[in-house]
Structure 1
Amino acid sequence: MTVPLDGIPLAEHAAIYAALDRAGFTDVWSSEVNGADAFTPLALAAAWQPRLRLGTAITPVFTRGPGLLAMSAAALADAAPGRFALGIGASSPVVVGNWNAVPFEEPFRRTRDVLRFLRAALAGETVDEEYDTFAVRRFTLDRKPAVPPPVLLAALRPGMLRLAGAEADGVILNWLAATDVPRALAEVGERRPGFEVVARIFVCPTEDAVHARALGRRLITSYLTVAAYAEFHRWLGREEVLGPMWRAWAAGDRRGAGAAVPDDVVDALVLHGSPEHCREQVRRYADAGVDVPVLALLPTPELAAGGAAALGDLITRLGGGGSR
């Protein structure tokens, strides 16, 4: 499950983490956009639920210096030995440039360089290296983690997918349909032992299809109009079906852009239906090669009306009732 859950204070997530564990969820994965940072929700989970595995999906490679990123990862690996995976990625010009005042330059090379630095630093090596996009002078972790965390790479298109396959411990996929997974993994190439495929999957567990599709269209027009995601979906072959949305968005017609997204595209990218039906749809990702399907829970009318009791029931049904 993606954490933290929207609308619930972090201080109240102890009950959420306990419910996820009881329901059969094995992992909690954070993100880092403009809400909570990637590490704090996982640090709480490490303390509150010692069985849950923890992961970041993702921590941007631009918004922390290399040394600080290594220290944050090492600290969480120290707090949860063998239970933490560090997911990194380029993020976007909005997050990096507009919100963090860092130039978003050469994202592929920066990501590659940070990946190489982290692999060395988290293994306890002294890093004294001139990379293409930055230099590090004699950095050594004072608290080397007993179990260095695996480093996974968020990837969309062929170059980053190949980098993940060649140098990372896994790949993190996002904003794709189950039917898109084989194409992405073909670029990753032969998977080494222990290499993991993680995918974030948007789930709106309601049988109110009008609500789910309206929310899905808002998300799709927010995300898939960003250049990296637009090029990703062009590469996946959606130029014809998403072209009208892109053209309307470029013309400043936000309402028209949403209306131009076909139902079948929404249904493929934002799963909806009963919790049990959503679980069946998530299995399609696993069948296609995803090792760790990470649900991103979206708001529903039932959750809005039912409060904590409805959320607890939903977590149980999504998790299969405790099949951990």
Structure 2
Amino acid sequence: MTQNWGMTIPFHDRSLAESKELIAQLPALGYTDAWSAEVNGADGFTPLAMASEWAPELRLGSAIVPVYTRGPGLLAMSAATLADLAPGRFVLGIGASSPVVVGRWNAAGFAQPYQRTRDTLRFLRRALAGEKVSERYETFEVKGFKLERAPKVAPKIVLAALRPQMLHLAASEGDGAITNWLSPQDVRKVRAELGGETELIARLFVCVSEDAEKVRELGRWMLAAYLTVPAYAAFHDWLGRGEVLRPMHEAWAAGDRAAALKAIPDEVVDDLIVYGDAATCRARIGEYIASGLDTPVLAPIPGGAGITEAVRALAPPR
């Protein structure tokens, strides 16, 4: 069994301040990691800063912070701050995010996502090592940036990676790859591209509930919201779901949301969302690990057990 077992923080049913008690319990429950996200809730760094004090045993990671919504220097400063708070325990996860998050919500351009991620990774390597960076990259230029206080232990940097080009970059220049919305069988294909030595991290959406119809109803909403994003549509084309998801994409493009939801087959929901009683969920997570996943990062979703109950029920087997 993998040595890593992560939980997404903060929790969807409470504020960051209200998450303190449960985050503090994670190490005793057997969790090794806490990972944040950054979409339109909490930012990607503050929950980890607080968790570094509330649960100092945990490895902390961002999955992910976008490379467009902060300038390169600010991203380096934020990462250096976390690395100082949790030396050797912070993993910086970066990625392109999506046109909605970057363009519509943050008024930034979304161009050349692979190149921008690559360039940001290369800049961060140098900046977090304490170098003074003056460099013209393909997607931006930095002139004379140097951290006032570089971290004593530079953080590992992992990349959001869905398809071969980014997976290869994560393996060759990064310290790991982050993915999500995939089945245990899909992990094998991702692992084949990534190689066997690079850490593979995935957020797994979990519902501790035996009410299949209720879970599938919620799951269809979540899947439609994600899999219509171009990067995820291309990811699932590559994974082999292009034809089965075509009716959903056509209905969504036509503006018929109800038809799009209805077009998602049960088996796709069952492939991509972990649900059932706690034992069934843990066994399913075990399938991901057996397929090559190093770090499952659990994200309990509404519709089943309450968050506190779910976090305790989903703790790793001992």
Length-normalised TM-score, structure 2? 0.95
Q: Any idea what SS the aligned residue of 1:43 has?
A: helix
Per the alignment, residue 308 of structure 1 pairs with none
Residue from 49, 52, 55 that aligns with 2:58 = 52
- Whether 2:276 is the aligned partner of 1:273: answer yes
Per the alignment, residue 35 of structure 1 pairs with 41
Per the alignment, residue 15 of structure 1 pairs with 21
Question: CA shift at 1:183, angstroms?
Answer: 1.0
In structure 2, what residue type is equivalent to 1:234? Answer: D
Per the alignment, residue 307 of structure 1 pairs with none
Question: Equivalents in 2 of 1:70, 1:226: separation in Å?
Answer: 28
Question: CA shift at 1:95, angstroms?
Answer: 0.4
In structure 1, what residue type is equivalent to 2:253? Answer: A
In structure 2, what residue type is equivalent to 1:246? Answer: H
- Whether 2:308 is the aligned partner of 1:312: answer yes
Per the alignment, residue 243 of structure 1 pairs with 246
- Whether 2:184 is the aligned partner of 1:188: answer no
Contact 1:164 1:171 in 2 (8 A): yes
Question: CA shift at 1:301, angstroms?
Answer: 4.3
Question: CA shift at 1:302, angstroms?
Answer: 3.7
Question: Equivalents in 2 of 1:57, 1:116: separation in Å?
Answer: 18
Q: Which sections of structure 2, spanning at least 5 residues, go unmatched?
A: 1-6
Question: Equivalents in 1 of 2:309, 2:46: separation in Å?
Answer: 26
4+ residue runs over 3 A deviation: none
Q: Any idea what SS the aligned residue of 1:17 has?
A: helix
Identity between Structure 1 and Structure 2 (%):
57
Per the alignment, residue 288 of structure 2 pairs with 285
Q: Any idea what SS the aligned residue of 1:133 has?
A: coil
Deviations, residues 2-57 of structure 1 (Å, cap 9, x unaligned): 11111201111111112322211111100000000000111110011110110000
Contact 2:207 2:305 in 1 (8 A): no
Per the alignment, residue 3 of structure 2 pairs with none
- Whether 2:105 is the aligned partner of 1:99: answer yes
Per the alignment, residue 296 of structure 1 pairs with 299
Question: Equivalents in 1 of 2:124, 2:305: separation in Å?
Answer: 43
Counterparts in 2 of 1:290 and 1:226: CA distance versus 1, 3 Å: same
Contact 1:165 1:190 in 2 (8 A): no
Equivalent residue pairs, number? 312
- Whether 2:237 is the aligned partner of 1:231: answer no
Please report the RMSD computed on the Cα atoms of aligned residues, expressed in angstroms.
1.2
Counterparts in 2 of 1:301 and 1:101: CA distance versus 1, 3 Å: same
- Whether 2:69 is the aligned partner of 1:63: answer yes
Question: CA shift at 1:235, angstroms?
Answer: 0.8
Contact 1:19 1:312 in 2 (8 A): no
Q: Any idea what SS the aligned residue of 2:314 has?
A: helix
Question: Equivalents in 2 of 1:312, 1:202: separation in Å?
Answer: 16
Alignment of 1:133-172 (within 5 A): 133-172=139-178
Contact 1:70 1:118 in 2 (8 A): yes
Contact 1:112 1:163 in 2 (8 A): yes
Deviations, residues 173-213 of structure 1 (Å, cap 9, x unaligned): 1111110011112222352xxx3110111111111111111
Counterparts in 2 of 1:189 and 1:314: CA distance versus 1, 3 Å: closer
Question: CA shift at 1:251, angstroms?
Answer: 1.2
- Whether 2:267 is the aligned partner of 1:264: answer yes
Q: Any idea what SS the aligned residue of 1:132 has?
A: coil
Q: Any idea what SS the aligned residue of 2:219 has?
A: helix
Q: Any idea what SS the aligned residue of 1:197 has?
A: strand
Per the alignment, residue 306 of structure 1 pairs with none
Question: CA shift at 1:170, angstroms?
Answer: 0.5
Deviations, residues 97-142 of structure 1 (Å, cap 9, x unaligned): 0000001011111000000001111111111111011111111111
Mean CA deviation greater in 239-248 or 52-61: 239-248
Per the alignment, residue 204 of structure 1 pairs with 207
